[in-house]
Amino acid sequence: MLFKIGRISNRDLILGYLAQFLSMANGLILLPFILGMLTADEVGIYYIFLTIGSLVVLSDFGFSGQISRSVSYVLSGADSLQKEGIEISKSNSINFSLLSSLVSSAKYIFFRLAILIFFLVGTFGTLYLYYVTDGLSSVSNLTLIWLVFSVGVFLNVYYTYLSSLLHGKGMVTKSNLSVIYSKALNIVLTMIFLFAGLRLLGVVLANLISPFLSRYLANSWFFTEDFRKGLRDYRGKNLRNAEVLEILWYNSRKFGLVALGSFTINKFSVFLVAIYLGLSEVGAYGLMLQVYGVLATVGSVLVTMSLPRFSSLRVQGEKDLLIREFALSSTFYYLTYFIGAILLMTFLYDILDYFGSNVSIPSVEIMILFGVVVFLEGNHTNFATLIVSSTKVPFVKSALIAGSIIVLLDVFVLEFTSLGLFGLVLVQGSVQLVYANWKWPKVVLNEFGISV
């Protein structure tokens, strides 16, 4: 019997917002304490860690999303996976042989990715951090802090397969609950460690420990008794693994390149700021990226949560319903982002003053301009998500080109002008406005023959 992936309920939506809010809790709940209790250099290093963490998340080469979508297809009745497009299901039962191969392939992929990322962080990451921190001397215990952070990176990459499986099952409520419990634990541990005087070491320790709770919950919620029973006959007999790996890699490499392009567009500039402007400016720039990242992430939560549902509707040929649900998700993004941006610009400066932040925030002009840039970025990303639900990835080349141009222009601005952070924001917004901001919404509208 098929596993039904239903619509997002009001309860799911509330839990989704809470999960996204807590996922960004370091930028909201903990941020005043981090800014007030860490030195400017420690805050700068903290934002470098966050940026490396973002790179690590993106560097899974799109396997997490591809695995999630593939699980959704199989649970919706697909008997085979396609390299491109989808096959409308005519089956009334789950193909547990194919599902077993997917699970085995997911573990295989992410263990090897974790080893690769750990090696890269341990070599190139160490060299970069050594350079920008005067030989790991600008912050006390930095060597130990970096080691704890690196181990956390390895574990987070490997256990990504669990969240991919859960998302593919369409269990948005369970997935969000696991995030909520884990992030709540992270907040408690971080506060305890900060007030115990562990400073930046306490922050990375909390980030290392707290995810184990969500991993345990995700494992127990995906592998229910029915699923364990269905998979049991195929344990150790996954004859389709090579075929599944080939199909997953076919599109995942595209998603990986898109992720790389996305990172160079949105986050690579943090590394350049540390080199050209110093750790204190990294703190200011990173703070701006983080607070607007909260708005974009929370605003897009309904689109993100609905991806398994979108994939399922495509398999079932429900195009009209797909359009209506995506339109609703987009409307949530517009309303949430605009309301959040107004509140942000009204209260953020006063909040930072109240908590005695050791890091300043960029000027109002830079903040407003960056808010517009992030809004347009989030909008075309939502439309790209709908395109991805069909396993098509037409934006690889454009993402890589845009990312390369932005990095080159960022270096030029920092090296030869005095524009500083304003120049970085202007570069990102201008390059994206030329193509991506309008292209991917237009592709979706043309596909379904609908107007804005």
Reading the chain (452 residues) residue by residue, the pLDDT tens digits are 444 444 555 666 666 666 666 665 555 678 778 888 888 888 888 888 888 877 776 666 667 777 777 777 777 766 666 666 555 555 566 777 777 777 787 888 888 888 888 888 889 888 988 888 877 777 778 889 999 999 988 888 888 888 788 877 767 677 777 777 888 888 899 999 999 988 889 989 998 998 888 888 888 888 877 777 777 776 655 555 666 777 777 666 666 677 777 778 777 888 888 888 887 788 888 888 888 988 888 888 788 777 777 877 877 778 888 888 888 989 999 999 999 999 988 888 888 777 777 777 888 899 999 999 999 999 999 998 888 777 677 777 888 898 899 999 999 999 999 999 999 999 999 999 999 899 989 988 988 888 77
Residue 140's identity, in one-letter code, is S
What's the token pair of residue 369? 């301009």
DSSP single-letter state for residue 124: I
- Rounded to an integer, what distance in angstroms lies between the CA atom of residue 4 and that of residue 392? 24
What confidence score (pLDDT) does residue 1 get? Answer: 47
What confidence score (pLDDT) does residue 23 get? Answer: 63
User: Burial level of 82, CB count in 10 A (0-12/13-18/19+)?
Assistant: middle
What's the token pair of residue 211? 């995810």
What confidence score (pLDDT) does residue 2 get? Answer: 47
What confidence score (pLDDT) does residue 20 get? Answer: 63
DSSP single-letter state for residue 362: -
* Short-list 291, 382, 386, CA closest to 331: 382
**Contacts with 33 (C-beta within 8 Å, 6 or more apart), sequence order:** 190, 191, 194, 355
**Contacts with 127 (C-beta within 8 Å, 6 or more apart), sequence order:** none
- Rounded to an integer, what distance in angstroms lies between the CA atom of residue 102 and that of residue 308? 16
Q: Is the entire prediction scored with pTM above 0.85?
A: no
- Rounded to an integer, what distance in angstroms lies between the CA atom of residue 16 and that of residue 346? 25
- Rounded to an integer, what distance in angstroms lies between the CA atom of residue 59 and that of residue 426? 26
| Helix, coil or strand: residue 401 | helix
Helices (H) and strands (E) in the chain, counts: 22, 0
Q: What angle do CA 253, 256, 257 make, to 5 degrees?
A: 90
* Short-list 95, 57, 65, 67, CA closest to 245: 67
For the chain, give the number of residues: 452
